[in-house]
Amino acid sequence: MSVRVRIAPSPTGNLHIGTARTAIFNWLFARRHGGKFILRIEDTDVERSRVEYTENIQSGLTWLGINWDEGPFFQSQRLDLYRAAIQKLLAQGLAYRCYCTPEELEQMRDGQKASNQAPRYDNRHRNLTREQQEAFAAAGRQPVIRLKIDELREIVWQDLVRGEVTWKGSDLGGDMVIARTPEKEGEEFGQPLYNLAVVVDDLDMAITHVIRGEDHIANTAKQILLYEGLGAKIPEFAHTPLILNQAGRKLSKRDGVTSIDDFKQMGFVPEAMANYMALLGWTQPDSTQEIFSLAEAAANFSLERVNKAGAKFDISKLDWINSQYLHQMPAEKLVDLLIPYWEEAGYHSDDRLWLIQLTQLIAPSLTRLQDAGPESRLLFGESVTYSEEARDLLKQEGVQEMMQGVREAIAAWPNLTETEAKKIIDQITKTQKVKKGLVMRSLRAGLMGELHGPDLIQSWLLLNQKGLDLIRLQQALTL
RNA sequence: GCCCCCAUCGUCUAGUGGCCUAGGACACAUCCCUUUCACGGAUGCGACGGGGAUUCGACUUCCCCUGGGGGUACCA
């Protein structure tokens, strides 16, 4: 049977990094086995679901390079399916109506907690007579639907990353709610609940492997019971470790930057993001290989090599991976990614060739795309702000003569090349009888206003193309 | 509280009984390269949570403890 997996996010927020990583694992698994990867939007929580989040999830996945073969499917459009399943369960006597009010349930749990017992539903309405049910209904109460859970049952499954996992029926918290109270008059029951909808959908979509975060591990036991109730074949399960924050807790929205959007805006490229997320909890058969594309990962992916323990999110490693991608990216491609950041910083040029050269110059010093602004600052604009150290150097004995000499030499060469630039520096070195290093440093100070920065010759050539070198040296001479 | 899961350098990890004097990567430090800053290269720093058991031999198997995490909804 061919592999079918899915990612089933709920649109209650922007695409979260944890969801994205689960999506990547699923996608990798599907690609590895020549299967299908399906996108399903779990929007049964009408209160919290929003369309813009649905869009954000899709654009985020696409940005990362995760494409889906089927979907997106929306649970909100599949309510009939769930309704039928609930009815079937009801008809078979596997589920029943519970008329408890939220207040009653709360009171019950409080009592349990007070006597140090695990809070759970005590199945009090499991065996209500027809008369009792009618009495509740007559009193205006609306029922939820609960699935009967056999307290004596042992639920066991072979988890593809964790091995055998066992759960007792009695630890499931009592008969579980599978449908809310009806919202409209005359309805038999209301919206289906997560566990029910998931099972019905996974069944309907013929999902073979459920790969999801470890936080779903307790749901698996409940869902297995649902599969059985519906007389269906149970899929394979694989529970992946969670992505943790610095404190070692499950990464949540409250931890600040956790949505894919955030990382995109911070200047991370999708290839690096995907690479890092895949690396977080999974290793190549050759574990020393850390920089790889999704396609390369797909060729080698296996759940066996997924780690069991949670992994702390480490931004500095992400930074390093991102820098690797930025450094090896062709300038012709990188320049397009950089332009928006230059524009944002207020640096503009229509000269694409010049921008490509600039890109080549600063690429090695980029960690994130947003570094392009600060790293290029000295190359844009006519006037220069001289740093303290640069001023001091420029005021040193003989330095003004050097600058003057360079100015004159520049004027003699209409289109400066690297060879010529070097020749000019050598010439000044000779005529002024100083060390070459001093000429270089002084020239940097005069041209850039600072003592540190990208390669001097290349920077100079870029300025020269715009005639900025003459203007700046002029300014340096007035200090 | 109860249930489940997990446990190797600060972080991500390799390791499936002897190949381990525990390997790699990030971070950090030093050095080299270099006009500077980066990049790149080299070196260093640095871990098997504790206790039992099995075994000729445990990072690797089992048990207990400890620690951490997840779950415990008419959320997903």
Can you list the domains of chain A with their CATH numbers?
A: 80-157+165-191 (3.90.800.10), 329-379 (1.10.8.70), 388-477 (1.10.10.350)
Compute the Cα dihedral for A295, A56, A332, A291 and give only its sign.
negative
Tell me if A144 sits within 8 A of A189, measured CB to CB: yes
Q: Rounded mean pLDDT of A81-90?
A: 97
Per residue in A213-244, pLDDT (tens digit) is 999 999 999 999 999 999 999 999 999 999 99
Residue A319 CA, nucleotide B24 C1', distance (Å): 18
Nearest nt by C1' to A192 Cα: B74
Smallest CA–C1' separation from A244, nucleotide: B69
Distance A122 CA to B76 C1' (A): 24
Min mean pLDDT across A36-45, A112-121, A143-152, A195-204 is at: A112-121
Reported as half-sphere exposure (CB side, CA atoms, 13 A), residue A454 has a value of 24
CA distance A271 to A296: 12
Report the distance from CA of residue A452 to the C1' of nucleotide B37 in Å, as an integer. Answer: 5
Judged by average pLDDT, the poorest of A99-108, A112-121, A276-285 is A112-121
Confidence band of A165 (pLDDT split at 50, 70, 90)? very high
Interatomic CA distance for residues A352 and A345, integer angstroms: 17
ipTM: 0.95
Active site amino acids of A: 253
Segment A6-35 shows an average pLDDT of: 96
Q: What pLDDT, on a 0 to 100 scale, did the predictor assign at position A46?
A: 81
Distance CA A28, CA A322 (A): 21
Phi, psi of A445 (to 5 degrees): -60, -45
Report the percentage of chain A scoring pLDDT > 70: 100
Strands (E), A311-436: 311-312
Cβ–Cβ under 8 Å, residues A125 and A98: yes
CB-proximal positions of chain B, under 7 Å: 1-8, 10-16, 23-27, 35-40, 68-76
| Residues pairing with A192 in the sheet | A179
Report whether the peptide linkage leading into residue A72 is cis, meaning its omega lies within 30 degrees of zero. Answer: yes
Nucleotide nearest to A438 (CA to C1'): B35
Res. A366 pLDDT band, cuts 50 70 90? very high
φ and ψ at residue A152, rounded to 5 degrees: -90, -5
Taken in order A26, A29, A31, A35, is the CA torsion positive or negative?
A: negative
pLDDT at A401 over 90: no
Give CA–CA dist A343/A338, Å, rounded.
9
Instruction: Estimate the crossing angle of helix A456-465 against helix A352-362, to 10 degrees.
Output: 170
Report the nearest residue to nucleotide B75, CA vs C1'. Answer: A45
Question: Tell me, what's the pLDDT at A477?
Answer: 82
Nearest nt (C1') to A219 (CA)? Answer: B71
> What's the CA–C1' distance between A394 and B62, in Å?
75
CA of A289 to C1' of B25 (A): 9
Confidence label for A395 from pLDDT (cuts 50, 70 and 90): confident
Nearest residue (Cα to C1') for B2?
A118
Residue A1 has pLDDT above 80, yes or no: no
pLDDT exceeds cutoff 80 at A422: yes
- Dump pLDDT digits (tens) for A239-294: 999 999 999 999 988 888 889 999 999 999 999 999 999 999 999 999 999 999 99
How much is the pLDDT for A215? Answer: 95
The residue whose CA lies nearest the C1' of nucleotide B12 is: A280
- What pLDDT, in 10s, does the model give residues A324-356? 999 999 999 999 999 999 999 999 999 999 999
- CA A328, C1' B45: Å apart? 30
What is the side-by-side strand order in the sheet with A95-98? A95-98, A144-147, A176-179
pLDDT reported for residue A404: 87
Distance CA A418, CA A408 (A): 17
* A102 closest-nt by C1' vs CA: B74
Q: What is d(CA A156, CA A167) in angstroms, rounded to the nearest whole number?
A: 6
Specify the 3-state DSSP secondary structure of A339.
helix
What pLDDT score was predicted for residue A393?
85
Q: What is the mean pLDDT of chain A?
A: 94
- Interatomic distance A162 CA / B19 C1' (Å): 28
A253 is in an annotated binding site: yes
